[in-house]
Amino acid sequence: MTTVLKAACHCGKNTFNIKLTTASLPIVNDLCHCSSCRHSTGQLTVNYIRFDGVPLTPTSADSDQPADLSNLTAYNATGVATRWFCSTCSAHLFFEVIGDKYWCVAVGSLEKAEGIVKNEYHIYVADTIDGGIADQIRTVDGFELPRYIGPLEEGKVVPLGWRNDGVINAKRDLETLAFHCRCKAISFTVTRPSAASALPYSAYPDLLLPAHSTDASKVKNPDDEKWWLRPLGAEKPTKYLAGHCACTHCRLTSGFEIQSWAFIPRANVLVSSESGASPTILNLKDEGQRPKGLVQYKGSPGIREFCGTCGATAFWWSEEKQDLLDVSVGLVDETQNGLRAEGWLEWHKERIGQQEEAVNKALVSAVAEGLKALV
């Protein structure tokens, strides 16, 4: 028997059927933390499952017609596998393994996760340098996830709280925190909070004040609190707030269940137009000054910015909030301060933004519980 599922992106240009052997469900699967996955998506971890055959047109459940992939961009950095993402909204849909000829689908793009996928182990945790989000995803559905440093076959694990201090210590004191996508078309640096960091105004994100249960006037931040600067209320803040989002928009524009953002004033995000040029403040509005290779998706709500070559999510912003950016933490140069960059970012542990919208509830609850265990 075959189970047919729909996979789709946010903008609606891509909808596919994929087939799974019903007897194989739920598929026991990894969460991958490798540098290649993180930097080509902007996520802290990615989640793909293998399916039968190739992507199919969604005309009918029993259609066996291979799908038209012309609205997807292919990115193949290694010759081993091709990543396919939506050219319009950046959602990663497929991971095609060339040699063994099989296809995997990004789980966040699926209409359903329950009964389909069971995340039972972490792989390539060593690439994160500090354990990354694997430290926050400890137990899924009562099952404790082992943390493999490389592929499953190697069988070597690291304990919770593992860090590669040798790597971190070498670059710990750099004055800026670097970010880059897999193909390096998009790279930028972040500076420490300055006087300019307190100038933007922003309503509270759902991460801090859940919109569904908070009075709307309070969400608007009437006291103009600079909630993104940390420690909160410090005279001289040194860090930025970071947190995870499980909203439908993030899920369907990335293809994955958990999008991790750092809230950083635009004044603190610097780019160099060419190597050797002195860096300038990131400008996303003026066509002539936007980083080359950055593609915009204006899908409500707000504007998502991603690398047109490798598909990595870089920023989210909106007209109302153009001087405070959501920066995709998966692009952080993990060799500097570890992937969680805790010398720069203060992670919100009490809540995941819009966690009620999660489709893969088991995974998102696992992150929420793992975060609370750190409080």
* Bridge partners, residue 305, by sequence: 296, 315
Question: Least separation, in Å, of the C-beta of 32 and Zn ion?
Answer: 3
* Bridge partners, residue 86, by sequence: 72
Q: Which is nearer to Zn ion, 267 or 367 (CB)?
A: 367
Q: Is residue 185 part of the contact set for Zn ion (CB under 5 A)? A: yes
Choose the binding region for Zn ion from 181-189, 216-224, 280-288, 355-363 (rule: CB under 5 A). Answer: 181-189
Strands 313-317, 303-307: pairing is antiparallel
Name the DSSP letter for residue 293. Answer: T
Q: Is residue 247 part of the contact set for Zn ion (CB under 5 A)? A: yes
Q: Is residue 11 part of the contact set for Zn ion (CB under 5 A)? A: yes
Q: Is residue 7 part of the contact set for Zn ion (CB under 5 A)? A: no
Amino acid at 179: F
DSSP H or E stretch at residue 83: strand 81-86
The answer to whether the beta carbons of residues 18 and 56 sit under 8 Å apart is: yes
Question: Least separation, in Å, of the C-beta of 132 and Zn ion?
Answer: 12
Choose the binding region for Zn ion from 58-66, 78-86, 230-238, 362-370 (rule: CB under 5 A). Answer: 78-86
The answer to whether the beta carbons of residues 178 and 187 sit under 8 Å apart is: yes
Question: Least separation, in Å, of the C-beta of 236 and Zn ion?
Answer: 30
Question: Which of 3, 29, 45, 88 is the binder for Zn ion (CB under 5 A)?
Answer: 88
Question: Which of 31, 34, 106, 324 is the binder for Zn ion (CB under 5 A)?
Answer: 34
The answer to whether the beta carbons of residues 277 and 292 sit under 8 Å apart is: no
Choose the binding region for Zn ion from 62-70, 89-97, 276-284, 344-352 (rule: CB under 5 A). Answer: 89-97
Strands 81-86, 92-97: pairing is antiparallel
Residue 154 neighbours by CB distance under 10 Å: 10
Choose the binding region for Zn ion from 3-11, 50-58, 76-84, 355-363 (rule: CB under 5 A). Answer: 3-11
Enumerate residues 248-277 that contact Zn ion by CB under 5 A: 250
Question: Least separation, in Å, of the C-beta of 257 and Zn ion?
Answer: 11
Q: What is the contact mask toward Zn ion in residues 284 to 323, using x (rule: CB under 5 A)?
A: -----------------------x-xx-------------
Distance separating alpha carbons of residues 256 and 247, to the nearest angstrom: 11
Question: Least separation, in Å, of the C-beta of 40 and Zn ion?
Answer: 7
Distance separating alpha carbons of residues 165 and 53, to the nearest angstrom: 43
Q: Is residue 355 part of the contact set for Zn ion (CB under 5 A)? A: no
Question: Least separation, in Å, of the C-beta of 171 and Zn ion?
Answer: 22
Distance separating alpha carbons of residues 174 and 187, to the nearest angstrom: 16
Question: Least separation, in Å, of the C-beta of 359 and Zn ion?
Answer: 13
Residue 200: partners with Cβ closer than 8 Å, 6 or more residues away:
265, 266, 321, 323, 324
> Applying CB under 5 A, what is the total number of residues that bind Zn ion?
18
Choose the binding region for Zn ion from 136-144, 167-175, 238-246, 341-349 (rule: CB under 5 A). Answer: 238-246
Name the DSSP letter for residue 176. Answer: S
Question: Least separation, in Å, of the C-beta of 270 and Zn ion?
Answer: 18
Question: Which of 18, 20, 37, 117 is the binder for Zn ion (CB under 5 A)?
Answer: 37
Question: Least separation, in Å, of the C-beta of 246 and Zn ion?
Answer: 7
Amino acid at 326: D
Strands 92-97, 72-75: pairing is unpaired
Question: Which of 5, 7, 8, 9 is the binder for Zn ion (CB under 5 A)?
Answer: 9
Q: Which is nearer to Zn ion, 37 or 44 (CB)?
A: 37
Which two structure tokens, joined as six digits, stand for 87?
Answer: 């050219």
Question: Least separation, in Å, of the C-beta of 92 and Zn ion?
Answer: 10
Question: Which of 107, 245, 258, 262 is the binder for Zn ion (CB under 5 A)?
Answer: 245
SS3 sequence, 102-114? EEEEEHHHECCCC
The answer to whether the beta carbons of residues 84 and 71 sit under 8 Å apart is: no
The answer to whether the beta carbons of residues 263 and 344 sit under 8 Å apart is: no
Distance separating alpha carbons of residues 40 and 311, to the nearest angstrom: 6
Enumerate binding residues for Zn ion (CB under 5 A).
Answer: 9, 11, 13, 32, 34, 37, 86, 88-89, 181, 183, 185, 245, 247, 250, 307, 309-310
